[in-house]
Amino acid sequence: MLAGLGLAGCHTAGRGDVRENHKDNLLYVFIPSGTFEMGCSKLDEDCKPDEKPAHTVTISKGFWIGQTEVTVEAYRRFATTTHRPMPPEPEFGSRSLNPGWSDPRQPIVNVDWDDARSYCEWIGGHLPTEAQWEYAARGGATTSRYGDLPAIAWFGDNAGKQRIDAAKLFQEDGPGYLGHLSMNGNTPHRVGLLTPNPYGLYDVLGNEWEWTSDWYGASYYQGSQRFDPTGQPSGDARVLRGGSWVDLPAGIRVSVRGHRPPSARSVDTGFRCEQ
């Protein structure tokens, strides 16, 4: 595990330790083993059926996970080294969200599941399982969020030029919702600008949906493994977590489960890796 991080001579790690991976030059945070309640948080009235039932899960081994989402700069290093093309430049409405991929600190987007998996393997790791992702995202918290939402996440309300009430806007004009966001200049933001969670991870809620390794199953939690679950053995879609810069507040919670076909590319989807 540590060898992939290029940490010669480092044999132990504790909660919150931060190390640089010398392959992509990003920082990774150590998450210790432990047990937590996965799924719908207590008193959370926004939970969907696929977040239930809440169930006890044990992560038996500590792991390192990206302190931030993978950046454009880091992904470009991967693409150059492996002779892959960069993903299609992200556009929203009539706007380019990162013209020519010129902002290196924005999260990489428009990557499909295989792109994300290949990158994580390149740095000596993997995409996190859905359980690893939620365990790390909670940071020990049992609530649906680990802090005040505008302070910790870029989402529909605060990701544009003006602060808006995304939920009200969607209720009043659902079909025109994305158009309103485009006119407001909503966009992903540079990683690491807001308050991190208790484990020191940035943007685990909001900014970009993040690919995980698991196949999606709407009823998976009804029979999920209790130790190191890895999801369904097969399926048509992979699990996404965290919500993004276009989402309503109700969609920015640690237990929310998104899903898309592995071949999907979207301007609101990126990833982070674990080792």
pTM here is: 0.94
Count, in order, helices (H) and strands (E) of the chain.
6, 11
Give the tens place of pLDDT for each residue, 93-124: 989 999 999 999 999 999 999 999 999 999 99
Parallel, antiparallel or unpaired: strands 209-215 and 269-270? parallel
Q: What is the CATH number of domain 3-270?
A: 3.90.1580.10
In this structure, which amino acid lies at residue 188?
A: P
- Which alpha helices (H) appear in the chain, and where do they start and end? 72-82, 113-122, 130-138, 149-152, 166-172, 177-183
Neighbours of 142 (CB within 10 A): 13
Tokens 């806007």 belong to 169
| Alpha carbon of residue 42 to chain centroid | 22
Average pLDDT score, the chain = 95
User: Mean pLDDT across the stretch 124-148?
Assistant: 97
Give the tens place of pLDDT for each residue, 195-225: 999 999 999 999 999 999 999 999 999 999 9
Domain ranges of the chain: 3-270
Q: How far apart are CA 53 and CA 180, in angstroms?
A: 35
Q: How many residues does the chain have?
A: 275
